Amino acid sequence: MLGLMQEWPLVCHKIIDHAARQHGNREIVSRTVEGPIARTNYRNIRQRSLQVAQRLERDGFKRADRIATLAWNGARHLEAWYGIMGMGGIYHTLNPRLFPEQIVWIMNHAEDQALFVDLTFMPLVEKIAGMVKSLRKIIVLTDAAHMPATALPNVVAYEDWIAEADGDFAWVDVAEAEACGMCYTSGTTGDPKGVLYSHRSNVIHAMMAAMPDAMGISSRDVILPVVPMFHANAWGLGQSGPMIGAKLVMPGGKMDGASIYELLDTEKVTFSAAVPTVWLMLLQYLEQNDLKLPHLNKVVIGGSACPRAITEKFERVYGVEVIHAWGMTEMSPLGSLATMKPEYAGLTGDALLDIKQTQGFAPFGVEMKVTDDENRDLPWDGKKFGRLKVRGPAVAKGYYGGAGKEQFDAEGWFDTGDVAHINENGYMQITDRAKDVIKSGGEWISTIDLENMAVGHPDVAEAAVIGVAHPKWDERPLLVVVAKPGREPTRESILDYMKPRCAKWWLPDDVAFVKEIPHTATGKIQKMALREQFKDYELPAA
């Protein structure tokens, strides 16, 4: 017998309809590329999204067309998202930090038909547009007064373009399983792979993200999504923000300490989300200028492992709660968050920080397990680490075009490529990427654990650990360090600092000092490049 409840498709335009109806006056504040701070609200965002949808349709774009965006976080970008989805199209976020050739490859693979672009990226678009065969229209997210001169055909100013539509448009009646968004993973090996979100997965993910034990956000929050919309959907905040009716503060292209602080302060931001690098810049700026954070309650930190020192400083010096989170583009992206279960009530000091260092537990909607090399489940004992696998309604079941089939199994589990353990309370801790883990004498050494340890040293700004060939142990860890400005830590002082903090056989065999550690377009350490750089490195004899 079927239930007698309504079929109410989980489609994304319902999110912006709800925001406009229930929270219509709530502000969306953007630092524009043109310079000034712009203010709008959910009612206007919805109206202008309708104009975008209507205009796209009038220009001949159709359901399931991939429409790319190359833009910072801002109100116009959000309007473009909802407009594209509302006409049945698929927004395809491009990461401007990728090499131009990669962006061209991705756009051709996705067969993008149109592109919404911020002024910042017009020089890039000038170079690449001719190489994207499918591209028919370029909409520059600005007004006529700020339009740059361009020789490219079919380029329009966004404000002029939408002004030609009145917004009298009915959202296209899509099914919830239809695709609405797309994002390519910045794979360190092989070609990038396309993740294709559905209306349903985006709506479910937004609800999941907002739950109290996940991000725990509400209409009373003022949210600053520093994490870009082109990096895994701004961790869902472009959907969960309007869904709960929070005020949004969009930082545009400026993510340095001073710019972020200015927005936190003037807009009285209560909640923010970003990768560790952004927070490091902010904390440095606060220290240098003797500033406090009276409005900010909570920050979510993820994308790569959050150094303990960041959590400690936020919580103890600035009174800001830190939630360490883990996720992937393939997971929409949230997978787990380290909020505190009652089992940990009353924890203080280092014991509390230990739990906050984990990547936390999976909310409803994410199933998780760790397996050994024979695909046997490992116990949740907080020790045995293996391959981390996940499944759920907002987890990919394949890549666009059928790439990467080996990552999905018959029972629906997706192999994340991360190595982790899970403790008795469900708290997962990433110990490595499967391809980065160091195998020394048949045992695994976690490079992330060692890196976290090393950055606790007062003179270390950044650290990366890689495996270097060793005649007896196969591989041994080499610690690569960037010193803090003006500091000159020695090999001995760093190893002495780490000695009491790790197993004896985990201690790196040597320390190499470098000016800079290479990063990927999403801010992760490029271990492959480092391994290449140090492939002939000779470790000192034991």
Instruction: List residues binding ligand AMP (CB under 6 A).
Output: 185-186, 232, 302-305, 324-329, 333, 359, 416-418, 430, 433, 522
Least gap, CB of 416 to ligand AMP (angstroms): 5
Least gap, CB of 162 to ligand AMP (angstroms): 31
Least gap, CB of 115 to ligand AMP (angstroms): 22
Comparison of 24 and 426: residue with beta carbon closer to ligand AMP: 426
Residue carrying structure tokens 């969960």: 240
493 φ, ψ (degrees, to nearest 5): -65, -35
Catalytic (active site) residue 389: no
Comparison of 37 and 528: residue with beta carbon closer to ligand AMP: 528
Least gap, CB of 429 to ligand AMP (angstroms): 9
Q: What is the CA radius of gyration of the chain?
A: 24
**Cα separation, 87 vs 70, whole angstroms:** 19
Catalytic (active site) residue 406: no
Instruction: Single out the residue of 154, 158, 151 nearest to residue 137, CA to CA.
Output: 154
> Which tokens go with 290?
């003797």
Catalytic (active site) residue 171: no
**Cα separation, 206 vs 83, whole angstroms:** 18
Least gap, CB of 34 to ligand AMP (angstroms): 29
Comparison of 66 and 356: residue with beta carbon closer to ligand AMP: 356
Residue number, nearest CB to ligand AMP: 329
**Cα separation, 267 vs 401, whole angstroms:** 43
- Catalytic residue among 57, 79, 176, 330, which? 330
**Cα separation, 510 vs 503, whole angstroms:** 16
> Which tokens go with 211?
């739950």
Find how far residue 529's CA is from the centre of its chain.
22
Comparison of 155 and 255: residue with beta carbon closer to ligand AMP: 255
Comparison of 87 and 310: residue with beta carbon closer to ligand AMP: 310
Catalytic (active site) residue 330: yes
Comparison of 302 and 489: residue with beta carbon closer to ligand AMP: 302
296, 263 Cβ separation under 8 angstroms: no
327, 306 Cβ separation under 8 angstroms: no
Least gap, CB of 70 to ligand AMP (angstroms): 17
Residue carrying structure tokens 């994304």: 12
42, 49 Cβ separation under 8 angstroms: no
**Cα separation, 425 vs 226, whole angstroms:** 31
**Cα separation, 301 vs 178, whole angstroms:** 31
Q: Which residues are catalytic?
A: 185, 330, 439, 444
